[in-house]
Structure 1
Amino acid sequence: MRLQGIAWALSLVALASAVPSRQRRSDLVVHERRAAEPLDWVRSRRLEPTAILPMRLGLAQSNLDKLEDMLMSVSHPLSPSYGKHFSPQDVVNTFAPSGETVARVTEWLVESGIAKERLRMSASKGWIAFNATVEEAEALIDAEYHVYTHESGAEQIGCQSYSVPESIRPHIELIKPSVHFLHRVPSPDQLQKRAFERPSTHIRTGPKTDGRKVTITPSLENCDETITLDCLRALYSIDHTPVSTDKNTFGILEFTPQAFLQSDLDMFFANFSPSQVGTKPILISIDGGVDQTDDQGFDTNGESDLDLQYAFGLTNPQPILLLQTGDLVEGASFNNWLDAVDGSFCTFEGGDDPTQDGIYPDPLPGGFKGPESCGILTPPFVVSASYGSDEASATRAYAARQCAEYGKLGLLGTTVLYSSGDDGVAGNGGVCLNANGQPARNGKRFNPDFPASCPFVTAVGATQVNPGSTVNDPEGACEQVIFSGGGFSNFFEIPDYQTAAVNSFLKNHPPPFTSAQFNNSGKARGFPDLSANGANYAVAVAGEFVLVFGTSCSAPVVGSMITLINDARLAAGKGPVGFINPAIYSEKFSSAFHDITTGGNKGCNTPGFTSTEGWDPVTGVGTPNFTALLPLFLELP
């Protein structure tokens, strides 16, 4: 982002209050360090001491240590409380910071010279906000803010670490802006169009294509070459027509400028589902999100066209909510859509991290001038997100706070699905990590995906109909154009629901890699959780059919199946399934999945992990057998 006219307005006017004196270093402990030093950025200068920073302190939430247990109680099929999901107010009340935390942090700030009348608090008590000069902020948290410059001309600010008193550390989750860094820059064309770097550029987006065009409507006999709706129905035994569409909700998440073209939807429907011609999603505009049509082509229409064409086709006649996030100028991050479905997570006056999240209202020319979208819709029962980023690009505190929010959505009864990545054990673009956990061009350490590595989301990997095989033959892990993202988190511990599966994999099929290459402690969250086909999808994009590959394909297919299951449960007078991981890992549900035992997910100059019997970090527990899965979920309360 550029420092001139950026959304959170670094002013050169000093605040009138006194500057806090530097606290003695012996009183301070480092709270966060930058997760990964940026490639291709140069630290060019110290930030001016009179510039204004929008300081946001994320307070430690209550009961987070009980979140997994609470989630298991409403999600595990053997729990007597299965399906008894929380209300939004229950969630706010359960996790609001304690009165002691609010009081201790406020007292520290006031004693450090930040006048109490300058402090503001979010409605959920989750954040304390105040504006401070760079000089004040650096004295308060013992940090040095620098300007970083990219050869493209893009600029952003940050510090390498910051500290707080040891007695205060338990009461603070993270402080922003600080160590979080946007590692990727937009293309020269994007720099010309947009006033500063869109936060969403750190998000992996877009499926892949091998350039082939589909000129005739394929048949069921050649699903190894072209995947269609009929192929997916045959592969996963999908046979259910929704009847509770007025009660059910299915959300597809997209980040502007990625957008669908209605003409593409109609072209797809005309070929594969004629009754749906003219069908369009219900647009939910989050922070100025628009389904733009000015930029057309695979890079801007491919993802959204893919998601909507297959989600609509598989769940017909279920309406679909399009969660279009971010304006054309600034874009958005994962936190922006989380704000929209949970007002208690939402902050104020740009309380999100300016280097990661879209900050609204957007003062830039052409930017969204409305208020930040906070709690504007009830969380859909299913949300499918074909996006991701590298776990290493976030700090542990940032990732943990976001991951906890996914857990809260599970408590509310929402299934959150994220694609697991398309680069095997490597990160976005094939980038791996060095021995210090930093992105490096010659790195050898595996680079997990996030949010897929969060234990409170359902991570979806990719399979393929092997060349020469039919829909009646076992699938393999996807090894055409893309490789199913999978591995073990460097941030998150293994959840209880997954412990037996991961232990079995590590014991019975030990990978030929050392701790220098991946987190082989046996205590790390493994992903993906399950898979679906991700190769050779026929998708109408910008007026022509092309073949599309990626876990981007897999996520909306699984989302469609869960939506159909929810439909059947609603028709039976029951509620949505919510967080599905405890169920799909349970022994009773094992027969409802096709185990994938061939193929790998190469990356970082290795063959990657290998698919094998049972759960594996390539395809998870396997692909769903809808006909077997539906009655198991219908049996539950």
Structure 2
Amino acid sequence: MMILAMSFGIDANQITFNMALKQRNIDLLPHIVDVISNPDSPNYGEYLSIQEINSFVSPLDCDKLVIREWIEKNNMNIINDYGDAFQIEGDIINVSKAFKINIYPVKAGFQIEGKYMIPKDLTYLIDFIEGLSNKQYPRIKVNSHVKNSNVDPGYVGRESLVSLYSINSTYNIKNSSVGVIEYSGSNGFDSDGLNESEYMNGQRVNNITPNHTVGDNDGEDVESQLDVIAASLTGQGAELWYWKTDNWLYSFAIDFMNQKDVPEVISMSWGWAEDQQCSITTCTNQTSEQYVNRVNTEYMKLALRGISIAVASGDAGAPGRTSESCDPSRPMNPVFPGSSPWVTSVGATVVMKDGRLGLNRFTTPLCLEDTCSVGHDEHSINYDLTGWTAGGGFGIYGTEKTPKWQETQVKNYLKNNKLNTSNFNVNGRGYPDVTMVGHNCPVFSDGTSESVSPVDGTSCSSPYFAGVLALINDFQKSRGKPIVGFANPLLYKMSVDGVFNDITEGYNWCTEYQCCPNNNQTSNYGFKATKGWDPVSGLGSPNVAKMLAWLSKKT
């Protein structure tokens, strides 16, 4: 049985968890998000306050009072009232009795037996509870492997990124922030390793301050270190955040939503199949679809605050990690939250040895002491190249219909390509939205140059793109313009004018272990990259210089 070491109060017998209350007016949220996120709208950038959002979606006070009385009757305490959610603390004996489960303190945390039960007379007021289970949360796996000799073997450090994505090497962000989000299971980041990365990449030292470190930071793990370093390489000078949260997606979203001081851009490198969310969090009285719907609502609320969310699209192709062996009964499985309509989903590319030398003079210690990537030819990552495959596909649930900001691109893709449409939802949200390099990302584990190692994954490409969004926010602020917020309407509008590098090579009918049956052009298990948007590499990789020029001209 799994042991969960989080969600404790100061007293080791106290457990903290979150209660999702039934919301109001959620059918109106998509329109409001569109009004403030569409660059053509006269209300673009008019983001809402925490209080305004909560007052709009929270249940009536009379309904909340009924729940409060039940909580108090069972000797539990509401430590945070988030409007449409309660954060509750209670002694494990009282919580066990209230929810008809058994909670036992153990050395590493606590052990829970059984599924919690919500009283029948309260089910019309409560959606679910998060934090009363032993389930573990899966991160997008980090890989480092090369299977093809045509792959550029060099590190993709700051110099390579600047060349590959046309980033002004001297641009230093002065007024923008970016954070990386980690869940239970991560240890933390190493400040010395971050500083060594900055030195080796020719950057100024930019520490993560204690007040921008949320949750435990108990020592470096490679995934957290990767996230922090990647965001710093593209978001040079940005205010960096590290945010570690207990429990799963919902709990993070409500905690983040209700904090006044938060980063403007965040990156998440975690995910699991949409239809298997109840294998990650306990879904008493609900389905995976209902859990996904509620989390999507929470992401809409973050969009209303003006928060940009970049999310890794996954490392097991269109089949996903729940079909690594190419199960014909589960040929394609969108990964959530990378498939959410309210995030910017980021795929991954690999730089090829193409003869088109993008760099021939290195100046940073990393590239002088080691080999750095010099090519400009990007292919979407797949098992045949690197031993893993970037995720992509289409959302499966009714609330994840093709958003209007990508309707044209998705319709063109479906019209111009021969596809077996019985294996995916042709009316679903297509992902990823964009892509960036996800191979040979340099990670320093301590304050020495010898500690560098190459790491792979959309866990790298997502914080890379988050750093780009932080740069764009800084640029817009310097011009007196609003920050990007929910970025997708702007990105898809930009794409019409060629601000992305179109990635036309690659496919995602492979996983981390093999390639599924295909004829080199089509497969029941995934898709092939082509001209324009596709569910392999999205709109392509960013040309930052063109993006800033577009913003200067059209905003």
TM-score bracket, shorter-length normalisation: 0.7 to 0.9
Alignment of 1:271-282 (within 5 A): 271-273=200-202, 275-276=203-204, 278-282=205-209
Determine if the alignment matches structure 1 residue 227 to structure 2 residue 156: yes
Kindly state the Cα deviation for residue 488 of structure 1 after the two structures are TM-superposed.
1.6
Aligned residue identity for 2:166:
S
Taking the aligned partners of 2:270 and 2:534, their CA distance within structure 1 comes to 22
Aligned to 1:414: 307
Aligned to 2:145: 210
Determine if the alignment matches structure 1 residue 499 to structure 2 residue 403: no
| 1:157 maps to which of 103, 109, 113 | 113
Report if the CA contact (8 A) 1:432-1:443 is conserved.
Answer: no
Report if the CA contact (8 A) 2:405-2:492 is conserved.
Answer: yes
Taking the aligned partners of 1:62 and 1:406, their CA distance within structure 2 comes to 16
Taking the aligned partners of 1:332 and 1:458, their CA distance within structure 2 comes to 22
Taking the aligned partners of 1:398 and 1:603, their CA distance within structure 2 comes to 28
Aligned to 1:365: none
Aligned residue identity for 1:303:
E
Aligned to 1:66: 28
- Unpaired stretches in structure 2, ≥5 consecutive residues: 104-109, 279-287, 359-374, 519-525
Task: Provide the identity percentage.
Answer: 26
SS in 2 for 1:202: coil
Cα deviation 1:536-560 (Å, max 9, x = unaligned):
2233335433222111111121111
Taking the aligned partners of 1:280 and 1:569, their CA distance within structure 2 comes to 24
Alignment of 1:68-217 (within 5 A): 68-99=30-61, 101-102=63-64, 123-127=81-85, 137=99, 156-159=112-115, 164=120, 171-175=125-129, 182=135, 201-210=136-145
Q: 1:175 to 1:565 in 2, by over 3 A?
A: closer
Aligned to 1:445: 331
Cα deviation 1:402-429 (Å, max 9, x = unaligned):
2222221111111111111111113337
Report if the CA contact (8 A) 2:444-2:451 is conserved.
Answer: yes
Cα deviation 1:439-479 (Å, max 9, x = unaligned):
xxx85332221111111111100012224454465422112
Determine if the alignment matches structure 1 residue 426 to structure 2 residue 319: yes
Kindly state the Cα deviation for residue 94 of structure 1 after the two structures are TM-superposed.
1.8
Determine if the alignment matches structure 1 residue 630 to structure 2 residue 548: yes
Determine if the alignment matches structure 1 residue 405 to structure 2 residue 298: yes
| 540-549 vs 227-236, greater mean Cα deviation | 540-549
Kindly state the Cα deviation for residue 603 of structure 1 after the two structures are TM-superposed.
3.3
Cα deviation 1:471-512 (Å, max 9, x = unaligned):
465422112232111112233422222233223222222423
Cα deviation 1:22-55 (Å, max 9, x = unaligned):
xxxxxxxxxxxxxxxxxxxxxxxxxxxxxx9999
Taking the aligned partners of 2:489 and 2:196, their CA distance within structure 1 comes to 39
Aligned residue identity for 2:406:
Q
Report if the CA contact (8 A) 1:211-1:547 is conserved.
Answer: no
Taking the aligned partners of 1:388 and 1:116, their CA distance within structure 2 comes to 35
Report if the CA contact (8 A) 1:207-1:303 is conserved.
Answer: yes
Taking the aligned partners of 1:84 and 1:240, their CA distance within structure 2 comes to 31
SS in 1 for 2:477: helix
Taking the aligned partners of 1:162 and 1:432, their CA distance within structure 2 comes to 37
Q: 1:202 to 1:341 in 2, by over 3 A?
A: closer
Cα deviation 1:196-235 (Å, max 9, x = unaligned):
xxxxx412145212399xxxxxxxx995643222221111
SS in 1 for 2:503: coil
Q: 1:634 to 1:341 in 2, by over 3 A?
A: farther
SS in 2 for 1:596: coil
Determine if the alignment matches structure 1 residue 252 to structure 2 residue 180: yes
Aligned to 2:219: 292
Taking the aligned partners of 1:450 and 1:587, their CA distance within structure 2 comes to 25
Report if the CA contact (8 A) 2:152-2:352 is conserved.
Answer: no
Aligned to 1:565: 472
Taking the aligned partners of 2:114 and 2:54, their CA distance within structure 1 comes to 31
Kindly state the Cα deviation for residue 312 of structure 1 after the two structures are TM-superposed.
2.4
Aligned residue identity for 1:383:
I
Taking the aligned partners of 2:59 and 2:17, their CA distance within structure 1 comes to 18
| 2:441 maps to which of 537, 548, 557 | 537
Aligned-residue CA RMSD (Å)? 4.0
Kindly state the Cα deviation for residue 78 of structure 1 after the two structures are TM-superposed.
1.1
Determine if the alignment matches structure 1 residue 487 to structure 2 residue 401: no
Aligned residue identity for 2:25:
N
Cα deviation 1:359-416 (Å, max 9, x = unaligned):
xxxxxxxxxxxxxxxx2x5221111222223322232232222222222111111111
| 1:463 maps to which of 338, 344, 349 | 349
Taking the aligned partners of 1:66 and 1:626, their CA distance within structure 2 comes to 34
SS in 2 for 1:584: helix
Aligned to 1:555: 462
Kindly state the Cα deviation for residue 76 of structure 1 after the two structures are TM-superposed.
0.9
Kindly state the Cα deviation for residue 339 of structure 1 after the two structures are TM-superposed.
4.1
Kindly state the Cα deviation for residue 99 of structure 1 after the two structures are TM-superposed.
4.4
Aligned residue identity for 2:451:
E
Aligned residue identity for 2:53:
V
Taking the aligned partners of 1:473 and 1:242, their CA distance within structure 2 comes to 21
SS in 2 for 1:65: helix
Taking the aligned partners of 2:17 and 2:151, their CA distance within structure 1 comes to 57
Aligned to 1:196: none
SS in 2 for 1:475: strand
SS in 1 for 2:422: coil
Cα deviation 1:57-95 (Å, max 9, x = unaligned):
522212211111111111111111111111222212222
Determine if the alignment matches structure 1 residue 320 to structure 2 residue 240: yes
Kindly state the Cα deviation for residue 146 of structure 1 after the two structures are TM-superposed.
9.0
Aligned to 1:348: none
SS in 1 for 2:319: coil
Aligned residue identity for 2:535:
P
| 2:277 maps to which of 393, 401, 405 | 393
Aligned residue identity for 1:234:
S
Aligned residue identity for 1:257:
S
Report if the CA contact (8 A) 2:172-2:236 is conserved.
Answer: no
Aligned to 2:379: 476
| 1:342 maps to which of 224, 232, 257 | 257
SS in 2 for 1:490: coil
SS in 2 for 1:91: helix
- Unpaired stretches in structure 1, ≥5 consecutive residues: 10-51, 139-144, 148-153, 183-200, 213-220, 294-299, 344-374, 435-441
Taking the aligned partners of 1:162 and 1:548, their CA distance within structure 2 comes to 44
Aligned residue identity for 2:277:
S
Report if the CA contact (8 A) 2:233-2:467 is conserved.
Answer: no
Taking the aligned partners of 2:456 and 2:438, their CA distance within structure 1 comes to 5
SS in 2 for 1:173: strand
Determine if the alignment matches structure 1 residue 379 to structure 2 residue 337: no
Report if the CA contact (8 A) 1:257-1:292 is conserved.
Answer: no
Taking the aligned partners of 2:212 and 2:389, their CA distance within structure 1 comes to 32
